[in-house]
């Protein structure tokens, strides 16, 4: 419980820092948008490029874990999008809802928790989970949003416009470029690597500060605004871990691999959905609330899941 709390505290501290500087008038009303653009167009692409470019084949060759974690993300995402669409929410909103329920905070919380609980040998599993969330699930959500924004219903023209939008999206281009550089040159030059790490390290803290800035903006208080974030929190902290256990059981994975997949799936919602919600002006308030609610509740739910875990060594 102590290690979980210590991991979560910096998240709340960064959100509070953003909230405070906005309330004190140190940063203005446009600061949320501008800081989020910095994350989306510079810091996060650098982070995605760096993660993919440095992913070693031997480290990420864990098919059982990748299947259990990846399928749990995809199934939870699909269920949430389907329910949201059934409730007559727009497809872009449904995609953001799907991210909120299926996008664990593997980057900020996954690595330290996996290291503390399973040891250094399990860090490649956190890397696989991070690549799955920030590249695969994120990419699918962007495709759905871009398709929903197009008004042309001619299939050929629609696909062309969506493809063109995706080709201009730095969050799609960055991991593709990282993979291309690795396959072509084998390694990133040292100066470029330093640049990427410096810029990419700003992604998570800046996103959390932008979240605090957004929450500090004045808006009408409405208790009903909590309904959707609470439902999404249930999806994130209960449904996704349950799906993970079901998939792992169906695949007959070893207990240790199942435990690691469960822990990473049980993490709260990461900052990625907020960056996308703010960029597309869609569901930002719901997403901000979901991140805070899931992060706070996860202090207790992760402790419970840790009691479920029987083995703490991943081969």
Residue 1 predicted with pLDDT over 70? no
pLDDT at 208: 87
pLDDT, one tens digit per residue, over 78-98 is 999 999 999 888 889 999 999
* Whole-structure pTM value: 0.79
Q: Which of 50-59, 128-137, 187-196 has the lowest mean pLDDT?
A: 50-59
- Higher per-residue confidence, 76 vs 312: 76
Q: How confident is the model at residue 176 (pLDDT cuts 50, 70, 90)?
A: confident
Q: How confident is the model at residue 2 (pLDDT cuts 50, 70, 90)?
A: low
Residue 101 predicted with pLDDT over 90? yes
pLDDT at 151: 67
Burial pattern 161-173, b for ≥16 Cβ within 10 A else e, equals bbeebbeebebbe
Domains and CATH numbers, the chain: 2-308 (1.20.1530.20)
- Higher per-residue confidence, 249 vs 56: 249
Residue 222 predicted with pLDDT over 60? no
Mean pLDDT of 138-162: 74
């Amino acid at each position: 419980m102590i290690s979980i709390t210590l991991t979560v505290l910096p998240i709340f501290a960064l959100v509070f820092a953003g909230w405070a500087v906005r309330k004190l008038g140190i940063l203005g009303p446009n600061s949320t948008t501008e800081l989020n653009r910095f994350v989306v167009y510079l810091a996060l692409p650098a982070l995605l490029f760096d993660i993919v470019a440095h992913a070693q084949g031997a480290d990420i060759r864990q098919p059982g874990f990748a299947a259990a974690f990846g399928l749990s993300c995809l199934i939870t995402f699909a269920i949430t999008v389907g329910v949201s669409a059934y409730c007559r929410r727009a497809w872009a909103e449904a995609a953001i809802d799907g991210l909120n329920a299926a996008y664990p905070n593997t980057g900020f919380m996954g690595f330290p928790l996996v290291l503390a609980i399973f040891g250094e040998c399990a860090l490649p599993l956190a890397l696989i989970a991070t690549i799955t969330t920030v590249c695969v699930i994120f990419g699918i959500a962007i495709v759905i949003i871009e398709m929903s924004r197009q008004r042309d219903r001619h299939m050929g023209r629609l696909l062309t416009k969506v493809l063109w939008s995706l080709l201009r999206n730095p969050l799609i281009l960055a991991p593709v470029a990282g993979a291309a550089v690795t396959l072509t040159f084998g390694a990133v030059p040292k100066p470029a690597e330093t640049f990427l790490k410096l810029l990419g390290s700003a992604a998570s803290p800046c996103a959390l500060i932008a979240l605090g800035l957004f929450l500090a903006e004045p808006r009408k208080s409405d208790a009903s605004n909590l309904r959707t974030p609470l439902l999404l929190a249930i999806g994130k902290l209960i449904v996704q871990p349950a799906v993970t256990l079901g998939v792992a059981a169906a695949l007959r994975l070893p207990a240790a691999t199942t435990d690691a997949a469960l822990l990473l799936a049980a993490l709260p919602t990461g900052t990625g959905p907020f960056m996308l919600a703010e960029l597309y002006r869609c569901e930002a308030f719901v997403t901000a609330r979901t991140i805070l609610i899931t992060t706070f509740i996860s202090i207790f739910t992760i402790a419970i899941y840790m009691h479920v875990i029987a083995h703490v060594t991943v081969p």
